[in-house]
Structure 1
Amino acid sequence: MNRRTLVLFLAPLLLANCTTIPELGAMADKGGTRQRRIVVKLAEQKAYLYHRDKMVAVSPISSGREGKHTPVGRFSVIEKDIDHRSSLYGNYVRSGKVVKENIDVRKGGRPPGCKFEGVPMPYFLRFTGAYGLHAGNLPGYPASSGCVRLPKRQAKRFYDAVRLGTPVTVQR
């Protein structure tokens, strides 16, 4: 089997496992951000971006794990923060070195001389309370503390495509 035949044979198999992410292209630059909405489908572990009722992007997600569920309902983007950091989850750091990692500031004490450093949540789109969409780790199942994590590239895409007030619907 020559190389070209091999590529033609393997390409559909490899692409079948990838999530198709249509490029927003010029749409992000023309027409503003009106008539856009985000739909998160927890059962599918996917987020969808719509423009004028046409799906323009889809992304895998990791939503809230057992006991830390992502809220379901109709919301809107109430904050955009490109360099957001968690105020609840992170590490205690002293002189630039992590002393205690993966902590919840509401549980346990801070070691002497340490400061809290929140987990980075780039391209944060807050939609209610402490919950939002942002770039983060996607292990392939619900694993967050309630936020909706997206791959960094898609998180930036969603962030750039919406504005404050954009509708966000989270479905089971």
Structure 2
Amino acid sequence: MNLFLSHIARRAWIAIPLLTGSCTMIPELGALTDRGDTRHRRIVVSLREQKAYLYHERELVAESAISSGREGKNTPTGHFSVVEKDSDHRSSLYGNYVQNGRVVKQNVDVRKGGRPSGTKFEGVPMPYFLRFSGACGLHAGKIPGYPASSGCIRLPKRQAKRFYDAVRVGTPVIVE
């Protein structure tokens, strides 16, 4: 019986914050329960910490692990703003050459080498893309625990969607 009560107590500890308040951060989930106005929000990315933070006014409302640009493909630093939102974005630079639905050449950079005859380019999916500088943006992708991207900032899919839903074009993005 003690094990059952302990299980119930743990569930209540998680549920109580969900039931209270309309603008609450639930740290263990990084959940933003405020579904209101997106003004006064900003994204701050720490390349050193490999973390992204979402603020509403001065309050931290969500955070996420990231994977930024690897050596030689560094993520730009500075003050930017979201210039494009695309929930179903695909890379225009990196992907595969395909023919009749079959990958002919994979992991290509369209700027290097030629396209095999009869193929078309299919860009890598970058769900919940928030463009902030040139070709760089925040989007869903693999998070290996270190900088590994070609310059973009990858977040776990669930967090990428949270950040995407919480901001609008014009939202400040600070990368440091």
Instruction: Tell me, yes or no, whether TM beats 0.5.
Output: yes
1:74 and 2:79 matched: yes
Is the Cα–Cα contact under 8 Å of residues 66 and 153 in structure 2 kept in the other structure? yes
1:4 and 2:3 matched: yes
Is the Cα–Cα contact under 8 Å of residues 30 and 64 in structure 2 kept in the other structure? no
Hey, what does 1:63 align to over in structure 2?
68
**How big is the shift at 1:52?**
1.2
SS of the counterpart of 2:75? Answer: coil
Hey, what does 1:100 align to over in structure 2?
105
The letter of the residue matching 2:156 is P
TM-score, structure 1 as length reference = 0.87
After TM superposition, list the pairs within 5 Å mapping 1:90-169 onto structure 2. 90-169=95-174
Runs of 5+ consecutive residues of structure 2 not aligned to the other structure: 11-26
CA separation of 1:142/1:3 partners in 2, compared to 1, >3 Å: closer, same or farther?
farther
The letter of the residue matching 2:117 is P
The letter of the residue matching 1:4 is L
The letter of the residue matching 2:28 is T
**How big is the shift at 1:140?**
1.0
**How big is the shift at 1:21?**
3.5
Offset from partner CA, 1:2-29 (integer Å, 9 cap, x none): 9939x89xx9xxxxxxx8343211x1x2
* Distance in structure 2 (CA, Å) of the matches to 1:3 and 1:90: 54
After TM superposition, list the pairs within 5 Å mapping 1:43-54 onto structure 2. 43-54=48-59
1:20 and 2:28 matched: yes
TM-score, structure 2 as length reference = 0.85
Q: How many pairs does the alignment contain?
A: 157
- Structure 1 segments of 4 or more deviating over 4 A? none
